[in-house]
Amino acid sequence: MNELIQKAKSLLESDTVQVVIGYGKGSADKTRAIFLTKPEDCDQLLFDSRCVQNLAVYLTKHEIKHLGKPAIVAPIPVLRSILQLAVENQLKESDLVILGVSPESKLIEFDSFGAIELFLNAYKIQIDEKYKATIDKIKAMPVSERFAFWIKELEPCFKCYACRAACPLCYCPKCTVENNQPQWIPAASHLLGNLEWHVMRAMHLAGRCTDCEACYNACPMGIPIHLLTKSMLQDVEEHFGPYGPSVGKRNTLSSFNPDDKESFIR
Amino acid sequence: MSKIGVFICHCGENISATVNCGKVAEVAGKLEGVAYSTDYKYMCSDPGQTIIKQMIKEKGLDGVVVAACSPRMHEPTFRKACSEAGLNPYLCEMANLREHCSWVHDKSDATTQKAIDIVRTLVEKVKHNKPLSTIKVPVTKKALVIGGGIAGIQASLDIANAGHQVVLVEKEPSIGGHMSQLSETFPTLDCSQCILTPRMVEVAQHPNITLMTYAELEKLDGFIGNFKATIRKKAKSIDEKLCTGCGLCTTKCPTKKIPSEFNEGLGFRTAIYVPFPQAVPNKPVIDKLNCQYYLKGKCKVCEKVCPTGAIRFDQEDELVELEVGAVVVATGFNIMTTSEFPEYGYGKYPDVITGLQFERLASASGPTLGEIRRPSDGKIPEKIVFIACAGSRDPAKGKPYCSKICCMYTAKHAMLYQHKVHHGESYVFYMDIRAAGKNYDEFTRRAIVEDKVNYLRGRVSKVYEENGKLIVKGVDTLLNAKPVEIEVDMVVLASAGVANPGSEELAQKMHISYDAYNFFSEAHPKLKPVETNTAGIYLAGACQAPKDIPETVAAASGAAAKVAILFSQNELSREPVVAVVNRSAPPLYSTCVGCFMCATACPYSAIGEEEIKDRKGNVIKKVAKVNPGLCQGCGTCVAFCRSKSIDLDGYTNEQMYSEVMALLNE
């Protein structure tokens, strides 16, 4: 960890970056995102198994961008998000310094997105068996039962949009739901409105979601919304082949590939 | 408050037979914002249109809904009428009561109710319509013709003679196509090469035609009047400027046993070759797949013998970008090979040949110099069987269609055989004789009556070899379905005409539609036979379906006329139904976040980047920008945009939303 702190310090001291986005001590026994602008504060940085928040979300936030060029502490989920953001033209290599953290908590520096991709090849997105079983169970339900299941699961949602705020890929300055000319997605958190919001959110992440579970972790009501994106991920993989963000590759759902199976059309 | 006029058409009885049009007009008249409503027998007729025009003026209408047929049919008619009365044409909408309602439902109150609902949605939509003006785009007066067979040749010459530039692209080393392989042509028995080769030469010498042989279409972008084509000129491995076409290289090339494509495998060619003596251009290419140098790195005999030093082993494929205004697709057809017929020996009997191979045997330029000799031992066949409908009209072979040309060429083949082998006996097994065409039936009768060809109505079940003879087992259905067994020396299959391999990929490159058999589809089977569904791309010849030479030439001239019509205009008016990226107040400037997924989704490559700058010229933001000239208004980008930053003029989110809500909030 010392390595990380030293690196962060030197980056700030040399003014290579103006802010370091990392994990620090939060309330109770939790960790939280911290934004360090002074070298002497870098001792606050920590990294352990509690650090599950996806820090990549801050890279596109106006308030953080305005602090200057960032360095970001990036365990695997953050690396994936960075790549996906790059695919979507939201990040350039020169925009940030990546302080990669390997699963063994070793500091790895990446000088290019290509290097991240190479590194991530060893850590393909894989959906946990326990989730697979749950998703299969839900998919096996008859339509009416499945509808009832989701209506019930989504009932506690009160549209705090924490899921949206936590997701590194929800970076639109004006979200669909904030469009009221016309208001396609109802803003109210009634049953149908909740369903429409979450289905829309999952659809917007189809072929983009990197399975970091930040949305689920952020949900104050513990709604299993990550099942929707995971299921979508499975579908994308089934129809369009193995999926993972790759710079220079066109987005799965927005591009046509003659090798696509298209079995759902024919 | 809107002042909308609703005009309900009876379409004769097409709508009024099942929909109570009077009732629809009455209910529509009470809708909020509707100032006038009426019904009429033929809204598209002159008196019908006059009602609309009068009411626009009299009532000061600011929106019109014509409830009639599909907008594909009459939207331009009614929009023009509105425009003539001073109303912006894009404030006129059509409610499709015919295809969407009256034709598909029985007469009932529910049908009328559905008609009312459809009208109501359009009334709500038209309230949100905004005046739009047409987009003008220039026309590049240069045509691309793909395929150098007789179709491509004819189309190129016609367009070029109309005074326009043409680029003719042919994938083989020479133009000429299948017609150059034919011996004589029906129904006149004039020599195919004699009528074709002058045309080929004319193409090569025409000042308006640029000929690219050994080249293929790599990519086609753009739209009518403004296509951008990328052509791959395959490396010929020769410098065409230096080559004089002396042919020394082709005589000295040591690789001599390559089956000749031109002779349908019945003769051989060398690795550096000119497909046939009358080829245009008459300059060789090196077939890299068979050349010793490319295979083993040694040889270069051609280089040594070439008197002008024109051989270029290091030549690479070249990609050429062309701007063209129209494309004529004339890629032709192919035929099923004998190996596709298990019942006739899977192609393992050398003396079972296809019609195209027979053409080569009968041709003076063929491997036997026009003598009918069988491929196995070169003997003149004493008895020969022609099997019509080999593959065609056979759902089991996946070709339920009639290949159309076989009845005629089979009669021709039998006739040529009888003319060349006087003592020979010929038999034709046929299903029906389809000889519709000028002098066609007379021609087949002549084969039967004058040339004594034995026509047997029935199918052949099997062909097998026994003691050096081919045994043809068939049935004669006109003789009480009596089984027939004939011992012959040669069998000719009139094998089905099929789409060229690769036509599916080509269609996808050009965004044109194709049928279940990979033949390209015309826009309308009767009224738009040479147009495709993509404006500015036309079809000529057998790439559309098997066609004979006269029909092919007629289609090619038709396509050329369409191109000439297009090129007679300096600019085209385009529907202003295009996507637009929004603008909003600072600090957002646009809700577009610049992910450019719309750009990858756009099938027309119409989306580019735009930099929003401040007064000092600093870039504040990069957003998507739709090129209205390229945009076809398909709406794919609108569906893809997560932040709803793109809207489609004429079909905005607001318009669609109000239509849906009109249906839901009854």
Segment A129-142, tens digit of pLDDT: 999 999 999 999 99
Bridge pairing between strands B646-648 and B579-581: antiparallel
pLDDT for the residue A258: 66
Residue range B579-648 forms a domain whose CATH class is: alpha beta
Answer for the pair B435, B426: CB distance below 8 angstroms, yes or no. Answer: no
The reply to whether A189 touches chain B by the CB within 8 Å rule is: no
Whether B657 sits inside 8 A of A176 (CB atoms) is no
Pick from A60, A65, A169, A174 the residue to mutate for testing the B interface (most B CBs within 10 Å).
Answer: A174
Whether B333-498 shares its CATH topology with B579-648 is answered no
A88 touches chain B (CB under 8 A): yes
Distance separating alpha carbons of residues A27 and A34, to the nearest angstrom: 13
pLDDT for the residue B665:
83
Neighbours of A226 (CB within 10 A): 21
Could B653 and A184 be called an inter-chain contact, meaning their C-beta atoms sit closer than 8 Å?
yes
Q: Report the pLDDT value the prediction gives residue A249, as an integer from 0 to 100.
A: 78
Q: What pTM value is reported for the model?
A: 0.71
A10 touches chain B (CB under 8 A): no
Question: How does pLDDT run across A194-217, given as a tens digit for each residue?
Answer: 999 999 999 999 999 999 999 999
Q: Which of B591, B593, B654 sits opposite A171 (nearest CB)?
A: B593
A142 touches chain B (CB under 8 A): no
**What is the C-alpha to C-alpha distance for residues B385 and B345, in angstroms, rounded to an integer?**
15
Question: Is some CB atom of chain B closer than 8 A to the CB atom of A89?
Answer: yes
Say what the ipTM of the complex is: 0.91
CATH code for the structural domain at B135-234+317-332+508-572: 3.50.50.60
Which DSSP symbol is given to B528? Answer: B
**A150 min Cα distance to partner chain B (Å):** 23
Chain B residue with the nearest C-alpha to that of A172: B593
Query: Where are the strands (E) in B188-233, listed by range?
Result: 190-191, 209-212, 215-223, 226-233
The 10s digit of each residue's pLDDT in B215-233 is 999 999 888 999 999 999 9
Tell me the CA distances in angstroms from A261 to A9, A235, A237, A249, B359, one per residue in order: 50, 12, 11, 18, 41
Report yes or no: B598 at the A interface, CB cutoff 8 Å: yes
Instruction: Classify domain B333-498 by CATH architecture.
Output: 3-Layer(bba) Sandwich (3.50)
Find out whether the peptide bond into A220 is cis, omega within 30 degrees of 0: no
The full set of domain ranges for chain B reads 4-133, 135-234+317-332+508-572, 237-315, 333-498, 579-648
| Mean confidence (pLDDT) of chain B | 94
Please judge whether B591 and A255 are an interchain contact, meaning their C-beta atoms are less than 8 angstroms apart: no
Contact call for B658 and A182, based on CB within 8 A: yes
Query: Which of B597, B601, B654 lies at the smallest CB-CB distance from A182?
Result: B654
Q: Which of A261, A231, A224, A31 is nearest to A133 (CA)?
A: A231
**Residue ranges in chain B modelled with pLDDT below 50:** none
Question: Shortest CB distance from B600 goes to which of A173, A175, A250?
Answer: A250
Whether the CB of A180 is below 8 Å from some CB of chain B: the reply is: no
pLDDT value of residue A40 = 94
Q: In this structure, what token pair is assigned to residue A102?
A: 């390997």
Residue of chain B minimizing CA distance to A178:
B643
Amino acid at B97: L
Q: A8 to chain B nearest CA, in Å?
A: 29
| Closest to B151 in 3D by CA, of B175, B133, B129 | B175
CA torsion A84-A85-A89-A94 (nearest 10°) is -110
B583 touches chain A (CB under 8 A): no
Task: Pick B600's closest partner by Cβ from A173, A181, A254.
Answer: A254
List the structure tokens of B615: 């007064």
For residue B66, the SS3 value is strand
Contact A182 B657 (CB under 8 A): yes
The band of A265, judged by pLDDT with boundaries at 50, 70 and 90, is: low
Cβ-Cβ contacts under 8 Å, B647 against chain A: none
- Residues in chain A closer than 8 A to B219 (CB atoms): none
Query: A256, B640: Cβ pair inside 8 Å?
Result: no
Residue B657 near chain A (CB below 8 Å): yes
Query: Are the Cβ atoms of A254 and B593 closer than 8 angstroms?
Result: no
pLDDT digits (tens, 9 = 90+) for B73-88: 899 999 999 999 999 9
Quote the DSSP letter at residue A44.
G
Asked whether the beta carbons of residue A176 and residue B644 sit closer than 8 angstroms, the reply is yes
pLDDT above 90 for A242: no
Answer whether A255 sits within 8 Å of B653, measured CB to CB: no
Residues in contact with B86: Cβ distance below 8 Å, sequence separation at least 6, in sequence order: B56, B57
Instruction: Return the closest-CA partner of residue A196 out of A211, A182, A176.
Output: A176
Q: Which residues of A touch B654 (CB under 8 A)?
A: 181-182
Is A179–B596 a contact, with Cβ atoms under 8 angstroms apart?
no
Among chain B residues, the shortest Cα distance to A185 is held by: B657
What is the DSSP annotation of B145-189?
EE--SHHHHHHHHHHHHTT-EEEEE-SSSSS-GGGGG-SEETTTT
User: 3-class SS at B533?
Assistant: coil
Best of B588, B600, B625, B656 to disrupt the A interface by mutation (most A CBs within 10 Å)?
A: B600
Question: How far, in Å, CA of A129 to CA of A135, rounded?
Answer: 10
* CB pairs A-B closer than 8 Å: 55
| Angle A177-A180-A185 from CA coordinates, rounded to 5° | 40
Q: Cβ of B508 and A258 within 8 Å?
A: yes
A119 touches chain B (CB under 8 A): no
SS3 B71: helix
Cβ of A256 within 8 Å of Cβ of B603? The answer is yes
Structure tokens at A27: 């309330």
- Asked if the model's pLDDT at residue A266 lies above 60, the reply is no
Alpha carbon distance B519, B572 (integer Å): 29
Q: Specify the residue for token string 């008249």.
A: B29
Cβ B341 vs Cβ B462: under 8 Å: no
DSSP strand pairing (B209-212 vs B215-223): unpaired
Q: B4-133: what fold? A: Rossmann fold (3.40.50)
B567-602 confidence digits (pLDDT tens): 999 999 888 999 999 998 888 899 999 999 999 898
Alpha carbon distance B481, B475 (integer Å): 6
Query: Quick one: how far is CA A101 from the chain centroid?
Result: 16
Mean pLDDT for A148-164 is 95
